[in-house]
């Protein structure tokens, strides 16, 4: 159940690109986590927040109006292995550049991966850790199996 924040200059992406950007990034992080066929449970609990900022709100040491993108991905504890980290960093960067229609963003997109601490992921009024996430996944798998059995 990752959370993604995209910080971008307000005029970098075409108008209406939020849906494409949000969907592409949500599916990319789930693939990086090893979720080949995401269920509604996965999709309903993977969020993308797009923050369009004034150009003067983004600075580097060299400019007071930087045309950079920051993608911060926060995941529950232990869901990304090293290959998953490499995969999502590459894929998120490519998604940003492709949707913006600007290959120079391949050099100006920063991806920050943050793993929540054990018990540091709150949802449904609960501080989730490995134990709680495991129980949640078990319940979701059982519900999916019951639904599939009902459909057969």
pLDDT tens digits for range 7-21: 999 999 998 999 999
Q: What is the pLDDT of residue 141?
A: 76
37: containing domain: 3-119
Instruction: Tell whether 148 is covered by a domain.
Output: no
| Main-chain dihedrals φ then ψ at residue 148, nearest 5 degrees | -65, -40
Is 52 contained in some domain?
A: yes
Per DSSP (E only), the strands in the chain are 3-9, 47-53, 69-75, 109-115, 121-123, 126-128
Is residue 126 situated within a structural domain?
Answer: no
Who's near 117: CB < 8 A, 6+ residues apart?
A: 77
**pLDDT above 90: residue 138:** no
For the cut 90, the answer to whether the pLDDT of residue 23 exceeds it is yes
User: Within a domain: residue 137?
Assistant: no
> Cα–Cα–Cα angle for 26, 28, 29, nearest 5°?
70
Domain count, the chain: 1
pLDDT one-digit tens code per residue, 85-137 = 999 999 999 999 999 999 999 999 999 999 988 777 777 787 877 787 777 77
| Residue 42 lies inside a defined structural domain of this protein | yes
* Chain-centroid distance, C-alpha 141: 22
The model's confidence at residue 40, banded by pLDDT at 50, 70 and 90, is confident
Question: For residue 81, what is the domain's CATH number?
Answer: 3.30.429.10
Q: Which of 7, 120, 111, 105 is nearest to 54 (CA)?
A: 7
pLDDT at 21: 97
């Amino acid at each position: 159940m990752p959370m993604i924040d995209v910080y971008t200059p307000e005029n970098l992406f075409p108008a209406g690109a939020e849906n494409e950007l949000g969907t592409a990034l949500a599916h990319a992080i789930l693939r990086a986590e090893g979720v080949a066929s995401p269920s509604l449970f996965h999709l309903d609990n993977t969020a993308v927040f797009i923050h369009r900022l004034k150009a003067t709100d983004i600075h580097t040491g060299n400019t007071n109006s930087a045309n950079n993108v920051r993608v911060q991905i926060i995941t529950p504890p232990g869901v990304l292995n090293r290959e998953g980290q490499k995969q999502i960093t590459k894929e998120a960067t490519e998604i940003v550049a492709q949707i913006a229609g600007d290959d120079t963003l391949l050099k100006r997109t920063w991806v920050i991966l943050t793993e929540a601490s054990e018990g540091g992921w709150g949802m449904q009024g609960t501080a989730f850790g490995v134990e709680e996430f495991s129980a949640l996944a078990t319940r979701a798998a059982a519900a999916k199996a019951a639904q599939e059995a009902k459909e057969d």
